A and B are shown apart, each in its own frame.
Chain A
């Protein structure tokens, strides 16, 4: 019985000690959100690349490749630019569903998050 306990403890430790970590390529966008009383945005690359190739956002929509290089305003998004090209209640949920995008925990800085072997450019 004790042997089984020992095995269970080892197996549990292997899984339970995995630290909380963002999915690879997650981007937190918080240039303006928290200053304006909203949660920051978590942009999940994995979710979007299942549905769209990189070139849709980074070529057609004009998102620059480097995190932080884009100046995003809700007014532009509501007018159909940037995220608003799809988040318009036709291709994807509309801008009135605030907390589906503005979903970050408080106090996070803008940047690329993610785990596994790297935390992103310049953060090795």
Chain B
């Protein structure tokens, strides 16, 4: 009886160690998992063309890590030179990048939103958001999390292809202090 008890205690210690190691690995982002295409629930495993397609793991595991969406930090992937996606295919296209932050949600209770134009225009053109989604004037847009959660406004991309809306702090990133509010009053679109 005594011996069985000792073995059980010893076994539980091993289990705890296993759980701790797994948690540490997840926290340190050692383990990132992308299901193979044949098991991802959308591709037809019987499709003969499947074996010619690139697997997500092959491409995404080499890019800077993140803990949501594709598990990739797509901005760092560009800034760090890991990828250099083409900006245009027509030579005459005017490729526009704007480096200007806008502070939003100045009177709310959650932390202030710092909207970085640069991170967005590295990927997108101005016309993708202006003027159909957002008027290009600070304070002119009635932003609502409820609308975003239903796929409107920021939710057109965030929650579908850009990082999901569960990543609150990545947008609501500026602590609500007097300094931050003062900076916000000076912000322009």
Contacts and interface: CB of A to CB of B under 8 A. Distances in A.
A and B from one complex: yes
B177 interface: no
A20 B159 contact: no
Given A25-B70, A97-B49, A120-B151, A2 B11 contact: yes
Size class of the B contact interface (CB-based, 8 Å): 35 or more
Interface string B121-137: 01111011000000000
Contact of A24 (B7, B70, B152): B70
Interface of B: 7, 10-11, 14-15, 17-19, 22, 33-35, 39-45, 47-50, 52-54, 56, 59-60, 63, 68-72, 74, 83, 85-90, 93, 95, 122-125, 127-128, 149-152, 155-157, 159-161, 164-166
A54 B123 contact: yes
A97 to B, nearest CB: 7
A51 B85 contact: yes
B90 A60 contact: yes
A63 to B, nearest CB: 10
A23 interface: yes
Contacts of A39: 44, 47
A58 B68 CA distance: 23
B84 to A, nearest CB: 9
Interface of A: 2-4, 6-7, 10-11, 14-15, 18-26, 28, 39, 42, 44-47, 49-56, 58-60, 65-67, 85-86, 91, 97-100, 103-106, 108, 112-114, 116-118, 120-122, 124
Nearest to A111: B160
A60 B93 contact: yes
Contact of A7 (B14, B42, B47, B157): B14
- What are the 5 closest A-B residue pairs judged by CB atoms, nearest first? A121-B151, A99-B49, A25-B161, A59-B125, A20-B41
Contacts of A6: 11, 14-15
Contacts of A118: 159-160, 164-166
Given A18-B35, A65-B128, 11 more contacts: A11-B18, A14-B22, A25-B161, A42-B42, A50-B63, A51-B83, A53-B86, A98-B49, A104-B42, A108-B42, A117-B164
Contact of A122 (B128, B150, B164): B150
Contacts of B166: 117-118
B42 A113 contact: yes
Nearest to B77: A50
Given A10-B19, A59-B127, A116-B164, A22 B40 contact: yes
